[in-house]
Amino acid sequence: MGRSRTAGLFLRGGVWHVDKRVRGFGRLCESTGASDPGEAERYLARRLEEIRQATVYGVRPTRLFRQAATKYLEDELLAGTKRSLSRDAQALKAVDPYIGDLALRQVHMGTLQSFIQARRKAGRQPATIRRDLATVRRILNLAARLWRDENGMTWLETPPLIQMPKGPARQPYPLSWEEQRHLFDQLPAHLQAMALFKVNTGCREQEICRLRWDWEVQVPELATSVFIIPGHQVKNGEERLVVLNRIAASVIEAQRGKHPEAVFTYRGQPVTKMYNSAWKRARREAAKAYAKESGRPAPAGFAAIRVHDLKHTFGRRLRAAGVSFEDRQDLLGHRSGRITTHYSAAELGNLIAAATTVCGDNSRKTPALVVLRGGAAVGRAA
C-alpha cells in the first residue's frame, strides 16, 4: 500500500502546501517550500507545535533577523515613501553575514560587535556604521512594537538598546577656487559636468543623478528655465526649486539632446552615483597636482574631498558674497517653512542674481571662463 498523505497537505506546482483548520487558531494556509512529502510533514508538524505554544503558553515563534529584514524591505517597497530604501538595503546586505541567521531575540550589541569591528577594519567612517546600525535598530523596534503575527503577538518582546559608535564627525570642506580647478581638471567629462552643476546649484548628489528633463520649467519673462524636483525625490520631502546661474545653464545646454529623460548620462545611460572609483581616482590625482604646483602637501580635507563638499562650497560662496540667509536657504533646498517653488518672476530673478555671485573668483577683478570637456564653462581667475 502507498503511503497515506497527512491531512492538510496538498501538492501544487511541485511544492507541498498547507490548508488546515487548527483549533483555537483558525485556517492555516501557506507553502511549506518543500517538494519532498516527508519534509513537508515535518514542516507542518513544526508549525502546529509553534501555534500550540503560542495559543496555549504564549510562546513567540522563533523568527530570524533575515526574515524581519525581508519584511521590512518588502513593506517599505510597497509603501513607496522611503527615499533612502536603497541605502537601507545596502546596510542589510552588509550586516546579513553577521546576524542574518540569528533569532530576533539574539540580536543585540554583543552580537553586533563583530559587524562593527569588521566595518571599522574596512575603513568605514563612524557615520556610515551608525547609519547601518540605525537600520537594524529600526527593524527591531518595528518587530517589538508594530508587527504582529496571526496570534496577535509582536515578533519580538522587547527591542534591545542599540548604542551608536562614537567618533569625530567629518567636518565640511568647502573648496577654494584653486582646489576646484585641480579637482575638475582630473574628473572625467560626465562627472565634471555634474560637479560643475552641483557647485553652482547646491543640489544633492541624488538630486543631480535623478534630474529629469520633464522637471524643467520655462520662465519666458527671464528668458531662462528652472527645475522643480518633486518632493519624493528630495531628502526633506519638500519640492526643490533649482535656479540656474549662467554656468549651471551652460551645463544644462551641453546635456540637452543626449537622453530623452535623464539630464546627466554616461555612455547613453543615466548616472546613478557621483562618488565612485572615478571620483576617488580624480581626487588622488588632484592632490598630487596641487602638491606639485604649490610645493606643499595638499590639505587633508582636499585629499579626501567628498561629493557633498561641493554643496558646502556653494553655500560658503553664497555667504561670502553677502547673499541673505533666506535666499541661501532657498538656493540650497533647505527646509524653511516657506513654499519655495512658488515665486514671481521678480523673485526668481533675485535668486538667479544671488546664484550668479558664485560664477567666478570674486576676489579677483577679471574672472575668466574656461571651457571644460563637455562644453560647459567654469569661472577661473585670470
* 184 and 104 within one domain: no
pLDDT band for position 33 (50/70/90)? confident
- Whether 327 is covered by a domain: the verdict is yes
pLDDT of residue 66: 92
Distance of alpha carbon 299 from alpha carbon 335, whole angstroms = 32
Examine residue 122 and state whether it is found in any structural domain, yes or no: yes
CA atoms within 13 A on the CB side of 194: 28
Cβ of 46: how many Cβ atoms within 10 Å? 12
Cell of 378: 567654469
Q: 74 and 39 in one domain?
A: no
Q: Which of 128, 145, 162 is the last residue of a domain?
A: 145
DSSP conformation letters of 43-69: HHHHHHHHHHHHHHH-PPPP-BHHHHH
For residue 271, pLDDT over 80 is answered with: yes
pLDDT at 369: 38
3-class secondary structure, 273:
coil
Torsion of CA 332, 334, 338, 342, to 10 degrees: 40
C-beta contacts of 11-20 below 8 A and 24+ residues apart: 16/40, 16/43, 18/43, 18/44, 18/47, 20/44
Task: Name 26's bridge partners.
Answer: 22
Count how many residues are written for the chain.
Answer: 382
- Residue 280 belongs to some domain of the structure: yes
Q: Give the span between the Cα atoms of 41 and 43, in whole angstroms.
A: 5
- What grid cell was written down for 292? 606639485
* 109 and 202 housed in the same domain: no
Q: What is the mean pLDDT of residues 41-53?
A: 80
Sign, Cα dihedral of 253, 256, 261, 263: negative
Same structural domain, 46 and 117: no
337, pLDDT greater than 70: no
> Are residues 314 and 199 in contact, defined by beta-carbon separation less than 8 angstroms?
yes
3 state DSSP class of 29 = strand
- Asked if 198 and 241 sit in the same domain, the reply is yes
Residue-level pLDDT at 364: 39
Statement to judge: residues 114 and 194 lie in one domain: no
CATH number of 266's domain: 1.10.443
Least confident range from 27-36, 257-266, 325-334: namely 27-36
**Non-local CB neighbours of 309 within 8 Å, separated by 6+ positions:** 172, 173, 174, 175, 301
Query: How many domains would you assign to the chain?
Result: 3
Average pLDDT over residues 172-176: 92
Among 197-201, 220-224, 257-261, the least confident range: 220-224
Across 248-256, average pLDDT: 95
Q: Report, as an integer, the average pLDDT of 113-140.
A: 91
Q: Which residue has the higher pLDDT, 312 or 28?
A: 312
Q: Looking at the domain assignment, is residue 283 inside a domain?
A: yes
pLDDT at 171: 84
Average pLDDT, the chain: 85
According to the model, what pLDDT value does residue 58 have? 61
DSSP 185-199: HHS-HHHHHHHHHHH
pLDDT at 363: 39
- Which positions ≥6 away from 104 have C-beta within 8 Å? 63, 64, 65, 68, 140, 143, 155, 156
Q: Is 44 a member of any domain? A: yes
User: According to the model, what pLDDT value does residue 340 have?
Assistant: 53
- The confidence score (pLDDT) of residue 235 equals 76
Same domain, 194 and 291: yes
* Domain limit, last residue, from 145, 168, 186: 145
Residues 53 and 79 in one domain: no
**For the ranges 259-263, 304-308, 336-340, which has the lowest average pLDDT?**
336-340
Same-domain pairing of 53 and 107: no
Residue 189 in this model has a pLDDT that exceeds 90: yes
DSSP label of 220: G
Q: Which residue has the higher pLDDT, 335 or 269?
A: 269
What is the residue range of 217's domain? 177-381
- Give me the pLDDT at residue 381, please: 38
Using DSSP bridges, classify how beta strands 216-219 and 367-371 pair: parallel, antiparallel or unpaired.
unpaired
Is 156 within a domain?
A: no
Query: Per-residue pLDDT averaged across 157-180, rounded?
Result: 86
Same structural domain for residues 268 and 215? yes
Give the single-character DSSP code of 203. -
Q: Between the CA of residue 344 and those of 2, 49, 214, 312, what are the distances in Å?
A: 83, 68, 21, 27
Kindly state whether residue 1 falls inside one of the protein's structural domains.
no
Q: What is the mean pLDDT of residues 116-143?
A: 92
Q: Is the pLDDT of residue 342 over 90?
A: no
What is the SS3 assignment for 6?
A: coil
pLDDT tier, 194 (very low <50, low <70, confident <90, very high otherwise): very high
- How many distinct helices (H) and strands (E) make up the chain? 14, 10
Shared domain for 299 and 357, answered yes or no, is yes
Q: Which long-range contacts (CB under 8 A, 24 or more apart) does 76-79 make?
A: none
More confident residue, 178 or 125: 178
pLDDT value of residue 31? 82
> Which residue would you say has higher pLDDT here, 183 or 23?
183
Task: Give the pLDDT band of residue 366 (cuts 50, 70, 90).
Answer: very low
From 103-107, 138-142, 149-153, 251-255, the region with the lowest mean pLDDT: 149-153
Q: Is residue 194 part of a domain?
A: yes
pLDDT above 70: residue 368: no
Average pLDDT over residues 110-132: 90
Residue with the larger pLDDT of the pair 52 and 70:
70
Tell me how far CA of residue 102 lies from CA of 62, 69, 75, 95, 352, in angstroms.
10, 12, 21, 11, 55
Query: Are residues 357 and 250 part of one domain?
Result: yes
Q: pLDDT (tens digit, 9 = 90+) per residue, 282-302?
A: 999 999 999 999 999 999 999
